[in-house]
Structure 1
Amino acid sequence: MLSARQLHAKGRRDPLLPPTSLAVARGELLLVTGERQDQRTALSLLLSGRMKATGGDVSWDNSPRTKQLRLAAALVDSPGVNEPEEHLSVRDLVTEDLALIPRRYRGALLSGPWLKVNRFEDIADLWTEQLEPRRRLELLTALALANPRTDLLVVDSPDRHSADGLTWLPRLQELAYDAGRPLAVVAAVSAVPAWWDGPVAVIGNDVPQPAPASPADGSSPLDEAHADDATASPGTHAGKHSAEAGQDPEPTQTTLETEVAK
Protein backbone atom coordinates (compact mmCIF):
# COMPACT_ATOMS: atom_id res chain seq x y z
CA MET A 1 0.00 0.00 0.00
CA LEU A 2 1.06 3.56 -0.75
CA SER A 3 0.33 5.99 2.06
CA ALA A 4 1.03 9.72 2.26
CA ARG A 5 0.32 11.92 5.27
CA GLN A 6 0.54 15.71 5.16
CA LEU A 7 3.03 15.41 2.33
CA HIS A 8 4.18 18.85 1.18
CA ALA A 9 6.96 20.70 -0.59
CA LYS A 10 7.99 24.33 -0.60
CA GLY A 11 8.26 26.41 -3.75
CA ARG A 12 10.01 29.71 -4.40
CA ARG A 13 6.89 31.70 -3.58
CA ASP A 14 3.78 29.54 -3.31
CA PRO A 15 3.83 25.98 -1.95
CA LEU A 16 4.96 23.59 -4.66
CA LEU A 17 2.69 21.06 -3.01
CA PRO A 18 0.34 21.99 -0.15
CA PRO A 19 -0.15 19.35 2.58
CA THR A 20 -1.83 16.33 1.01
CA SER A 21 -2.83 12.97 2.44
CA LEU A 22 -3.94 9.86 0.54
CA ALA A 23 -3.72 6.09 0.45
CA VAL A 24 -4.03 3.48 -2.29
CA ALA A 25 -3.52 -0.29 -2.18
CA ARG A 26 -2.70 -2.84 -4.85
CA GLY A 27 -5.78 -3.47 -6.93
CA GLU A 28 -6.97 0.13 -6.58
CA LEU A 29 -7.01 3.21 -8.80
CA LEU A 30 -6.94 6.62 -7.12
CA LEU A 31 -7.52 9.88 -8.99
CA VAL A 32 -5.96 12.96 -7.38
CA THR A 33 -7.18 16.31 -8.67
CA GLY A 34 -5.29 19.57 -8.81
CA GLU A 35 -5.70 22.61 -11.05
CA ARG A 36 -2.00 23.44 -11.30
CA GLN A 37 0.34 21.37 -13.44
CA ASP A 38 3.34 22.10 -11.24
CA GLN A 39 1.51 20.76 -8.18
CA ARG A 40 0.40 17.62 -10.01
CA THR A 41 3.97 16.99 -11.13
CA ALA A 42 5.37 17.66 -7.65
CA LEU A 43 2.90 15.17 -6.17
CA SER A 44 3.82 12.58 -8.80
CA LEU A 45 7.53 12.99 -8.10
CA LEU A 46 7.03 12.68 -4.36
CA LEU A 47 4.75 9.64 -4.57
CA SER A 48 7.22 7.83 -6.82
CA GLY A 49 10.24 8.63 -4.65
CA ARG A 50 11.82 10.93 -7.22
CA MET A 51 11.82 14.06 -5.03
CA LYS A 52 12.41 14.80 -1.36
CA ALA A 53 9.51 16.29 0.57
CA THR A 54 9.78 19.37 2.77
CA GLY A 55 7.55 17.71 5.35
CA GLY A 56 5.05 14.97 5.97
CA ASP A 57 5.75 11.36 5.14
CA VAL A 58 5.16 8.79 2.42
CA SER A 59 5.52 5.04 2.75
CA TRP A 60 5.23 1.92 0.63
CA ASP A 61 4.16 -1.31 2.32
CA ASN A 62 4.61 0.40 5.70
CA SER A 63 8.24 1.24 4.96
CA PRO A 64 9.29 4.91 4.97
CA ARG A 65 12.47 4.15 3.03
CA THR A 66 12.65 6.17 -0.18
CA LYS A 67 14.72 3.45 -1.85
CA GLN A 68 11.98 0.86 -1.41
CA LEU A 69 9.35 3.24 -2.78
CA ARG A 70 11.50 4.18 -5.75
CA LEU A 71 12.15 0.53 -6.65
CA ALA A 72 8.45 -0.30 -6.59
CA ALA A 73 7.16 2.84 -8.34
CA ALA A 74 7.16 3.81 -12.00
CA LEU A 75 6.61 7.45 -12.92
CA VAL A 76 4.69 7.64 -16.19
CA ASP A 77 4.72 10.49 -18.74
CA SER A 78 5.57 13.34 -16.38
CA PRO A 79 5.84 16.61 -18.37
CA GLY A 80 9.33 18.06 -18.28
CA VAL A 81 10.61 15.02 -16.39
CA ASN A 82 10.31 11.76 -18.32
CA GLU A 83 7.74 12.38 -21.05
CA PRO A 84 8.95 11.02 -24.42
CA GLU A 85 11.02 13.42 -26.47
CA GLU A 86 9.28 14.43 -29.68
CA HIS A 87 12.24 13.62 -31.90
CA LEU A 88 12.22 9.95 -30.87
CA SER A 89 10.55 7.20 -32.82
CA VAL A 90 8.56 4.64 -30.88
CA ARG A 91 11.18 2.03 -31.70
CA ASP A 92 13.98 4.20 -30.29
CA LEU A 93 11.93 5.05 -27.21
CA VAL A 94 11.38 1.35 -26.49
CA THR A 95 15.10 0.65 -26.95
CA GLU A 96 16.02 3.40 -24.48
CA ASP A 97 13.44 2.41 -21.86
CA LEU A 98 14.27 -1.30 -21.97
CA ALA A 99 17.93 -0.42 -21.42
CA LEU A 100 16.99 1.18 -18.09
CA ILE A 101 15.59 -2.05 -16.66
CA PRO A 102 18.03 -3.69 -14.20
CA ARG A 103 20.13 -6.25 -16.04
CA ARG A 104 18.99 -9.15 -13.84
CA TYR A 105 15.41 -8.59 -15.06
CA ARG A 106 16.16 -7.47 -18.57
CA GLY A 107 17.26 -10.75 -20.09
CA ALA A 108 17.32 -10.55 -23.87
CA LEU A 109 14.72 -7.79 -24.15
CA LEU A 110 15.12 -6.13 -27.54
CA SER A 111 12.86 -3.52 -29.06
CA GLY A 112 11.78 -5.62 -32.06
CA PRO A 113 10.57 -8.70 -30.19
CA TRP A 114 9.14 -6.57 -27.38
CA LEU A 115 7.08 -4.49 -29.82
CA LYS A 116 5.76 -7.65 -31.44
CA VAL A 117 4.90 -9.48 -28.21
CA ASN A 118 3.16 -6.41 -26.78
CA ARG A 119 1.34 -5.64 -30.05
CA PHE A 120 2.88 -2.27 -30.82
CA GLU A 121 4.28 -3.14 -34.24
CA ASP A 122 1.66 -0.90 -35.87
CA ILE A 123 3.15 2.21 -34.25
CA ALA A 124 6.83 1.21 -34.15
CA ASP A 125 7.89 3.63 -36.89
CA LEU A 126 5.83 6.61 -35.74
CA TRP A 127 7.27 9.60 -33.91
CA THR A 128 6.15 9.75 -30.31
CA GLU A 129 4.38 13.06 -31.00
CA GLN A 130 2.20 11.28 -33.55
CA LEU A 131 0.71 8.87 -31.04
CA GLU A 132 -2.92 9.36 -30.18
CA PRO A 133 -3.56 9.59 -26.40
CA ARG A 134 -4.90 6.09 -25.87
CA ARG A 135 -2.02 4.32 -27.65
CA ARG A 136 0.51 6.62 -26.02
CA LEU A 137 -0.66 5.63 -22.55
CA GLU A 138 -0.82 1.96 -23.47
CA LEU A 139 2.78 2.08 -24.71
CA LEU A 140 4.21 4.02 -21.76
CA THR A 141 2.49 1.91 -19.12
CA ALA A 142 3.55 -1.30 -20.87
CA LEU A 143 7.16 -0.08 -20.81
CA ALA A 144 6.84 0.72 -17.10
CA LEU A 145 5.62 -2.81 -16.46
CA ALA A 146 8.49 -4.38 -18.39
CA ASN A 147 10.28 -4.19 -15.05
CA PRO A 148 8.79 -7.05 -12.98
CA ARG A 149 9.43 -5.13 -9.74
CA THR A 150 6.96 -2.41 -10.65
CA ASP A 151 3.97 -2.56 -8.30
CA LEU A 152 3.00 1.11 -8.27
CA LEU A 153 2.18 3.33 -11.23
CA VAL A 154 2.11 7.10 -10.79
CA VAL A 155 0.72 8.72 -13.93
CA ASP A 156 1.20 12.47 -14.28
CA SER A 157 -1.65 14.33 -15.97
CA PRO A 158 -2.86 11.80 -18.55
CA ASP A 159 -5.80 14.10 -19.25
CA ARG A 160 -3.52 16.80 -20.67
CA HIS A 161 -3.48 14.88 -23.96
CA SER A 162 -7.26 14.56 -24.15
CA ALA A 163 -10.18 15.85 -22.09
CA ASP A 164 -12.08 12.66 -22.92
CA GLY A 165 -11.65 10.32 -19.96
CA LEU A 166 -12.34 7.33 -22.19
CA THR A 167 -8.90 7.79 -23.77
CA TRP A 168 -7.01 7.13 -20.54
CA LEU A 169 -9.20 5.98 -17.64
CA PRO A 170 -10.11 2.48 -18.96
CA ARG A 171 -6.42 1.65 -19.38
CA LEU A 172 -5.63 2.64 -15.80
CA GLN A 173 -8.61 0.63 -14.52
CA GLU A 174 -7.44 -2.39 -16.48
CA LEU A 175 -3.98 -2.20 -14.91
CA ALA A 176 -5.20 -1.64 -11.36
CA TYR A 177 -7.78 -4.41 -11.42
CA ASP A 178 -5.69 -7.02 -13.25
CA ALA A 179 -6.12 -10.20 -11.22
CA GLY A 180 -2.84 -11.62 -12.51
CA ARG A 181 -0.77 -8.58 -11.52
CA PRO A 182 -2.80 -6.09 -9.47
CA LEU A 183 -1.14 -2.69 -9.21
CA ALA A 184 -1.57 0.35 -7.06
CA VAL A 185 -2.30 3.13 -9.56
CA VAL A 186 -2.38 6.87 -8.89
CA ALA A 187 -3.26 9.40 -11.57
CA ALA A 188 -2.82 13.12 -10.95
CA VAL A 189 -5.44 14.85 -13.10
CA SER A 190 -6.91 18.32 -13.57
CA ALA A 191 -10.49 17.07 -13.28
CA VAL A 192 -12.34 13.82 -12.60
CA PRO A 193 -14.63 12.48 -15.35
CA ALA A 194 -18.27 12.91 -14.36
CA TRP A 195 -18.95 9.17 -14.62
CA TRP A 196 -16.07 8.09 -12.37
CA ASP A 197 -17.38 6.67 -9.09
CA GLY A 198 -14.10 5.38 -7.65
CA PRO A 199 -11.85 6.92 -4.98
CA VAL A 200 -10.75 10.54 -5.38
CA ALA A 201 -8.36 12.76 -3.42
CA VAL A 202 -7.60 16.46 -3.79
CA ILE A 203 -4.23 18.16 -3.70
CA GLY A 204 -4.08 20.27 -0.54
CA ASN A 205 -6.72 18.21 1.28
CA ASP A 206 -4.71 18.25 4.53
CA VAL A 207 -3.97 21.96 4.86
CA PRO A 208 -4.29 22.89 8.57
CA GLN A 209 -7.26 25.13 9.30
CA PRO A 210 -6.53 28.36 11.21
CA ALA A 211 -7.70 28.44 14.81
CA PRO A 212 -10.63 30.79 15.63
CA ALA A 213 -9.38 34.26 16.50
CA SER A 214 -9.59 35.18 20.20
CA PRO A 215 -11.34 38.45 21.17
CA ALA A 216 -9.00 41.38 21.62
CA ASP A 217 -10.04 41.81 25.30
CA GLY A 218 -9.06 38.24 26.12
CA SER A 219 -12.60 37.07 26.84
CA SER A 220 -13.65 33.58 25.78
CA PRO A 221 -16.39 32.70 23.24
CA LEU A 222 -18.42 31.42 26.23
CA ASP A 223 -18.16 34.82 27.94
CA GLU A 224 -19.37 36.45 24.73
CA ALA A 225 -22.33 34.06 24.63
CA HIS A 226 -23.33 35.04 28.17
CA ALA A 227 -22.89 38.67 27.28
CA ASP A 228 -25.18 38.20 24.30
CA ASP A 229 -27.82 36.68 26.61
CA ALA A 230 -27.53 39.61 28.99
CA THR A 231 -28.07 42.17 26.25
CA ALA A 232 -30.70 40.24 24.32
CA SER A 233 -34.16 41.73 23.88
CA PRO A 234 -37.03 40.55 26.10
CA GLY A 235 -38.63 38.90 23.12
CA THR A 236 -35.51 36.83 22.53
CA HIS A 237 -35.40 35.65 26.15
CA ALA A 238 -39.07 34.75 26.03
CA GLY A 239 -38.51 32.64 22.97
CA LYS A 240 -35.54 30.92 24.61
CA HIS A 241 -37.34 30.06 27.86
CA SER A 242 -40.40 28.82 25.98
CA ALA A 243 -38.19 26.49 23.91
CA GLU A 244 -36.56 25.14 27.07
CA ALA A 245 -40.01 24.41 28.50
CA GLY A 246 -40.88 22.39 25.40
CA GLN A 247 -43.31 25.02 24.08
CA ASP A 248 -43.27 26.83 20.80
CA PRO A 249 -42.04 30.36 21.39
CA GLU A 250 -44.30 33.22 20.52
CA PRO A 251 -43.17 34.89 17.31
CA THR A 252 -41.36 38.15 17.85
CA GLN A 253 -41.43 41.07 15.45
CA THR A 254 -37.98 40.12 14.19
CA THR A 255 -39.11 36.54 13.53
CA LEU A 256 -42.11 37.71 11.59
CA GLU A 257 -40.08 40.10 9.51
CA THR A 258 -37.69 37.25 8.72
CA GLU A 259 -40.50 34.95 7.64
CA VAL A 260 -41.96 37.64 5.41
CA ALA A 261 -38.59 38.18 3.85
CA LYS A 262 -38.41 34.46 3.04
Structure 2
Amino acid sequence: MLSVQQLQINGRRDDLLPATSLQVRRGELLLVAGEGQDQRTALALALSGRMKPSNGILSWDATTKTKKIRLSSALVDSPGVNEPEQHLSVRDLVTEDLSLIPRRYRGALLSKPWLKVNSFEDIAGLWIEQIPAARRLELLTALALADPATDLLVVDSPDRHSADPSAWLPRLQALASDAGRPLAVVAVVGALPDNWTGAAAVIGNSVSHPPEPEAEAAPTQPKPAAVVEPKTEPETEPKAKHAAQPASETTSAAHAESENLQRTAK
Protein backbone atom coordinates (compact mmCIF):
# COMPACT_ATOMS: atom_id res chain seq x y z
CA MET A 1 0.00 0.00 0.00
CA LEU A 2 1.13 3.54 -0.76
CA SER A 3 0.59 5.81 2.24
CA VAL A 4 1.22 9.55 2.18
CA GLN A 5 0.86 11.84 5.18
CA GLN A 6 1.33 15.61 5.07
CA LEU A 7 3.60 15.39 2.00
CA GLN A 8 4.95 18.85 1.19
CA ILE A 9 7.67 20.28 -1.08
CA ASN A 10 9.10 23.77 -0.67
CA GLY A 11 9.18 26.15 -3.60
CA ARG A 12 11.04 29.35 -4.31
CA ARG A 13 8.20 31.51 -3.02
CA ASP A 14 5.13 29.38 -2.39
CA ASP A 15 4.99 25.64 -1.76
CA LEU A 16 5.73 23.64 -4.89
CA LEU A 17 3.50 21.00 -3.36
CA PRO A 18 1.15 22.01 -0.52
CA ALA A 19 0.66 19.45 2.22
CA THR A 20 -1.21 16.45 0.81
CA SER A 21 -2.31 13.13 2.28
CA LEU A 22 -3.59 10.03 0.47
CA GLN A 23 -3.38 6.27 0.29
CA VAL A 24 -3.91 3.63 -2.39
CA ARG A 25 -3.76 -0.15 -2.29
CA ARG A 26 -2.90 -2.69 -4.93
CA GLY A 27 -5.88 -3.32 -7.15
CA GLU A 28 -7.10 0.26 -6.70
CA LEU A 29 -7.10 3.36 -8.90
CA LEU A 30 -6.78 6.68 -7.11
CA LEU A 31 -7.43 10.00 -8.88
CA VAL A 32 -5.76 13.05 -7.37
CA ALA A 33 -6.98 16.46 -8.59
CA GLY A 34 -4.81 19.55 -8.71
CA GLU A 35 -5.20 22.80 -10.63
CA GLY A 36 -1.57 23.68 -11.38
CA GLN A 37 0.65 21.58 -13.64
CA ASP A 38 3.68 22.27 -11.44
CA GLN A 39 1.85 20.90 -8.39
CA ARG A 40 0.65 17.83 -10.27
CA THR A 41 4.13 17.04 -11.56
CA ALA A 42 5.73 17.63 -8.16
CA LEU A 43 3.28 15.19 -6.57
CA ALA A 44 3.85 12.59 -9.30
CA LEU A 45 7.63 12.88 -8.85
CA ALA A 46 7.37 12.56 -5.08
CA LEU A 47 4.99 9.57 -5.17
CA SER A 48 7.28 7.69 -7.56
CA GLY A 49 10.41 8.40 -5.51
CA ARG A 50 11.90 10.83 -8.07
CA MET A 51 11.78 13.90 -5.78
CA LYS A 52 12.50 14.09 -2.10
CA PRO A 53 9.77 15.85 -0.13
CA SER A 54 10.58 18.69 2.27
CA ASN A 55 8.15 17.43 4.89
CA GLY A 56 5.77 14.56 5.48
CA ILE A 57 5.90 10.78 5.31
CA LEU A 58 5.83 8.65 2.16
CA SER A 59 5.80 4.87 2.50
CA TRP A 60 5.30 1.96 0.15
CA ASP A 61 4.73 -1.47 1.69
CA ALA A 62 5.94 -0.17 5.06
CA THR A 63 9.25 1.16 3.68
CA THR A 64 10.07 4.87 3.58
CA LYS A 65 13.36 4.51 1.69
CA THR A 66 13.23 6.62 -1.45
CA LYS A 67 15.37 4.22 -3.47
CA LYS A 68 13.07 1.25 -2.84
CA ILE A 69 10.02 3.31 -3.71
CA ARG A 70 11.66 4.44 -6.93
CA LEU A 71 12.57 0.87 -7.94
CA SER A 72 9.01 -0.33 -7.29
CA SER A 73 7.27 2.48 -9.19
CA ALA A 74 7.01 3.86 -12.68
CA LEU A 75 6.38 7.49 -13.63
CA VAL A 76 4.35 7.74 -16.82
CA ASP A 77 4.27 10.63 -19.31
CA SER A 78 5.30 13.44 -16.95
CA PRO A 79 5.49 16.74 -18.92
CA GLY A 80 8.99 18.17 -18.96
CA VAL A 81 10.36 15.07 -17.23
CA ASN A 82 9.89 11.86 -19.20
CA GLU A 83 7.17 12.57 -21.75
CA PRO A 84 8.18 11.28 -25.20
CA GLU A 85 9.71 13.78 -27.57
CA GLN A 86 7.39 14.58 -30.44
CA HIS A 87 9.98 13.94 -33.16
CA LEU A 88 10.46 10.31 -32.06
CA SER A 89 8.82 7.46 -33.87
CA VAL A 90 7.03 4.80 -31.84
CA ARG A 91 9.69 2.28 -32.83
CA ASP A 92 12.51 4.52 -31.58
CA LEU A 93 10.66 5.26 -28.35
CA VAL A 94 10.23 1.56 -27.62
CA THR A 95 13.92 0.93 -28.23
CA GLU A 96 14.90 3.75 -25.85
CA ASP A 97 12.53 2.71 -23.06
CA LEU A 98 13.47 -0.96 -23.22
CA SER A 99 17.11 0.02 -22.78
CA LEU A 100 16.24 1.51 -19.36
CA ILE A 101 14.90 -1.78 -18.00
CA PRO A 102 17.34 -3.80 -15.86
CA ARG A 103 19.33 -6.12 -18.08
CA ARG A 104 18.02 -9.31 -16.44
CA TYR A 105 14.46 -8.42 -17.58
CA ARG A 106 14.84 -6.66 -20.90
CA GLY A 107 16.29 -9.39 -23.14
CA ALA A 108 17.41 -8.30 -26.59
CA LEU A 109 17.08 -4.58 -27.28
CA LEU A 110 14.81 -5.08 -30.25
CA SER A 111 11.63 -3.10 -30.62
CA LYS A 112 10.03 -5.21 -33.35
CA PRO A 113 9.37 -8.35 -31.25
CA TRP A 114 8.05 -6.26 -28.36
CA LEU A 115 5.72 -4.28 -30.63
CA LYS A 116 4.35 -7.50 -32.07
CA VAL A 117 3.83 -9.27 -28.75
CA ASN A 118 2.09 -6.22 -27.27
CA SER A 119 -0.05 -5.49 -30.37
CA PHE A 120 1.46 -2.14 -31.31
CA GLU A 121 2.60 -3.03 -34.83
CA ASP A 122 -0.14 -0.85 -36.31
CA ILE A 123 1.43 2.34 -34.91
CA ALA A 124 5.11 1.36 -35.07
CA GLY A 125 5.86 3.72 -37.96
CA LEU A 126 3.98 6.75 -36.59
CA TRP A 127 5.41 9.78 -34.84
CA ILE A 128 4.51 10.21 -31.21
CA GLU A 129 2.42 13.30 -31.98
CA GLN A 130 0.29 11.28 -34.40
CA ILE A 131 -0.90 8.76 -31.84
CA PRO A 132 -4.43 9.27 -30.42
CA ALA A 133 -4.59 9.96 -26.69
CA ALA A 134 -6.00 6.56 -25.73
CA ARG A 135 -3.47 4.66 -27.81
CA ARG A 136 -0.63 6.80 -26.48
CA LEU A 137 -1.53 5.90 -22.88
CA GLU A 138 -1.76 2.21 -23.74
CA LEU A 139 1.74 2.32 -25.25
CA LEU A 140 3.38 4.27 -22.41
CA THR A 141 1.83 2.18 -19.64
CA ALA A 142 2.81 -1.04 -21.43
CA LEU A 143 6.40 0.19 -21.62
CA ALA A 144 6.35 1.10 -17.93
CA LEU A 145 5.13 -2.39 -17.03
CA ALA A 146 7.82 -4.08 -19.14
CA ASP A 147 9.81 -4.01 -15.91
CA PRO A 148 8.30 -6.80 -13.76
CA ALA A 149 9.46 -5.04 -10.58
CA THR A 150 6.91 -2.27 -11.14
CA ASP A 151 4.00 -2.48 -8.70
CA LEU A 152 3.09 1.21 -8.45
CA LEU A 153 2.08 3.19 -11.50
CA VAL A 154 1.98 7.01 -11.29
CA VAL A 155 0.51 8.77 -14.33
CA ASP A 156 1.02 12.52 -14.65
CA SER A 157 -1.88 14.48 -16.16
CA PRO A 158 -3.28 11.97 -18.65
CA ASP A 159 -6.26 14.30 -19.17
CA ARG A 160 -4.06 16.97 -20.82
CA HIS A 161 -4.19 15.03 -24.09
CA SER A 162 -7.98 14.77 -24.20
CA ALA A 163 -10.88 16.36 -22.36
CA ASP A 164 -12.81 13.10 -22.73
CA PRO A 165 -12.16 10.80 -19.74
CA SER A 166 -12.87 7.77 -21.93
CA ALA A 167 -9.48 8.39 -23.57
CA TRP A 168 -7.59 7.47 -20.39
CA LEU A 169 -9.86 6.34 -17.55
CA PRO A 170 -10.83 2.85 -18.85
CA ARG A 171 -7.18 1.93 -19.44
CA LEU A 172 -6.15 2.88 -15.90
CA GLN A 173 -9.14 1.06 -14.40
CA ALA A 174 -8.23 -2.07 -16.35
CA LEU A 175 -4.63 -1.96 -15.13
CA ALA A 176 -5.66 -1.52 -11.49
CA SER A 177 -8.19 -4.35 -11.60
CA ASP A 178 -5.98 -6.85 -13.42
CA ALA A 179 -6.04 -9.90 -11.15
CA GLY A 180 -2.99 -11.36 -12.85
CA ARG A 181 -0.85 -8.39 -11.86
CA PRO A 182 -2.50 -6.23 -9.21
CA LEU A 183 -1.14 -2.70 -9.33
CA ALA A 184 -1.59 0.42 -7.28
CA VAL A 185 -2.39 3.10 -9.84
CA VAL A 186 -2.37 6.84 -9.17
CA ALA A 187 -3.43 9.37 -11.81
CA VAL A 188 -2.81 13.03 -11.06
CA VAL A 189 -5.38 15.00 -13.07
CA GLY A 190 -6.58 18.55 -13.52
CA ALA A 191 -10.14 17.72 -12.43
CA LEU A 192 -12.08 14.63 -11.46
CA PRO A 193 -14.46 13.26 -14.12
CA ASP A 194 -18.08 14.13 -13.45
CA ASN A 195 -19.15 10.49 -13.12
CA TRP A 196 -16.20 9.33 -11.00
CA THR A 197 -17.24 7.55 -7.81
CA GLY A 198 -13.99 5.77 -6.98
CA ALA A 199 -11.15 6.75 -4.67
CA ALA A 200 -10.13 10.40 -4.96
CA ALA A 201 -8.02 13.06 -3.26
CA VAL A 202 -7.14 16.71 -3.79
CA ILE A 203 -3.71 18.32 -3.75
CA GLY A 204 -3.37 20.46 -0.64
CA ASN A 205 -5.99 18.54 1.34
CA SER A 206 -3.81 18.60 4.47
CA VAL A 207 -2.93 22.28 4.54
CA SER A 208 -3.64 23.60 8.01
CA HIS A 209 -5.05 27.10 8.10
CA PRO A 210 -4.27 29.18 11.17
CA PRO A 211 -7.37 30.08 13.14
CA GLU A 212 -8.73 33.50 12.40
CA PRO A 213 -8.10 35.97 15.22
CA GLU A 214 -11.17 36.70 17.24
CA ALA A 215 -12.56 40.17 16.83
CA GLU A 216 -11.57 42.29 19.79
CA ALA A 217 -14.51 43.62 21.72
CA ALA A 218 -14.78 47.38 21.54
CA PRO A 219 -13.79 48.92 24.85
CA THR A 220 -16.82 49.86 26.81
CA GLN A 221 -16.95 53.39 28.09
CA PRO A 222 -17.74 53.56 31.81
CA LYS A 223 -21.17 54.87 32.45
CA PRO A 224 -21.11 58.33 34.01
CA ALA A 225 -22.10 58.31 37.64
CA ALA A 226 -25.65 59.41 38.14
CA VAL A 227 -25.81 62.94 39.51
CA VAL A 228 -28.04 62.98 42.52
CA GLU A 229 -29.50 66.39 43.01
CA PRO A 230 -30.39 67.31 46.57
CA LYS A 231 -34.08 67.24 47.27
CA THR A 232 -35.61 70.66 47.71
CA GLU A 233 -38.76 71.10 49.64
CA PRO A 234 -41.36 73.18 47.83
CA GLU A 235 -41.25 76.72 49.10
CA THR A 236 -44.20 77.56 51.36
CA GLU A 237 -45.14 80.95 52.72
CA PRO A 238 -44.86 81.17 56.48
CA LYS A 239 -48.19 80.84 58.13
CA ALA A 240 -49.54 83.93 59.85
CA LYS A 241 -50.00 83.61 63.53
CA HIS A 242 -53.65 84.30 63.05
CA ALA A 243 -55.23 82.94 60.01
CA ALA A 244 -57.40 85.29 58.10
CA GLN A 245 -61.02 84.70 58.81
CA PRO A 246 -63.67 84.71 56.21
CA ALA A 247 -65.33 88.07 55.47
CA SER A 248 -68.81 87.02 56.70
CA GLU A 249 -67.46 86.12 60.11
CA THR A 250 -65.63 89.47 60.36
CA THR A 251 -68.78 91.43 59.54
CA SER A 252 -70.84 89.59 62.18
CA ALA A 253 -68.23 90.24 64.84
CA ALA A 254 -68.12 93.96 64.01
CA HIS A 255 -71.92 94.22 64.20
CA ALA A 256 -72.01 92.55 67.66
CA GLU A 257 -69.35 94.87 68.98
CA SER A 258 -71.28 97.92 67.75
CA GLU A 259 -74.37 96.81 69.61
CA ASN A 260 -72.41 96.42 72.86
CA LEU A 261 -71.00 99.94 72.54
CA GLN A 262 -74.45 101.34 72.04
CA ARG A 263 -75.72 99.67 75.21
CA THR A 264 -72.75 100.95 77.20
CA ALA A 265 -73.32 104.49 75.97
CA LYS A 266 -76.91 104.42 77.19
TM-score under structure 2 length normalisation = 0.80
Task: Find out whether 1:145 has 2:138 as its counterpart.
Answer: no
More helix by share: 1
The corresponding residue for 1:202 is: 202
Q: Aligned residue for 2:73? A: 73
Over aligned residues, Cα RMSD in angstroms?
A: 1.3
**SS at structure 1 position matched to 2:125:** coil
What is the number of equivalent residue pairs in this alignment? Answer: 218
In the alignment, the residues of structure 2 paired with residue 56 and residue 213 of structure 1 have an alpha-carbon distance, to the nearest angstrom, of 27
Partner of 2:162: 162
Matches within 5 A, 1:224-235: none
Shift in Å, 1:211 = 2.6
| Residue 183 (structure 2) pairs with residue 183 (structure 1) | yes
Shift of 1:62: 0.9
- Which residue of structure 1 aligns with residue 11 of structure 2? 11
- Structure 2's unaligned 5+ residue stretches are 218-266
1:56 match? 56
- 2:56 match: secondary structure: strand
Q: Which letter maps to 2:171?
A: R
Secondary structure at 1:46's aligned position in 2?
helix
Distance 2:83 2:11 in 1: 22
Structure 1: segments with no counterpart, 5+ residues: 218-262
Identity of aligned residues (%): 72
Equivalent position SS for 1:29: strand
Deviations along 1:25-58, whole A, 9 cap, x unmatched? 1000000000100000000000000001111110
Deviations 1:186-207 (A, max 9, x none): 0000011111110110000000
Deviation at 1:213? 2.2
- In structure 2, what residue type is equivalent to 1:61? D
User: Per the alignment, in what secondary structure is the counterpart of residue 26 of structure 1?
Assistant: coil
Give the counterpart letter for 1:147 in structure 2: D
Partner AA of 2:152 in structure 1: L
- Residue 214 of structure 1 deviates from its aligned partner by 5.0
* 1:209 Cα offset (Å): 2.3
* 1:22 aligned partner: 22
Aligned residue runs from structure 1 range 126-137, under 5 A = 126-137=126-137
* Cα distance in 1 between the residues matched to 2:40 and 2:97: 23
User: Which residue pairs with 1:231 in the alignment?
Assistant: none
Q: Which amino acid aligns with 2:57?
A: D
Other structure's SS at 2:41 match: helix
TM-score by length of 1: 0.81
Cα deviation, residue 11, structure 1: 1.1
Deviation at 1:104, TM superposition (A): 1.2
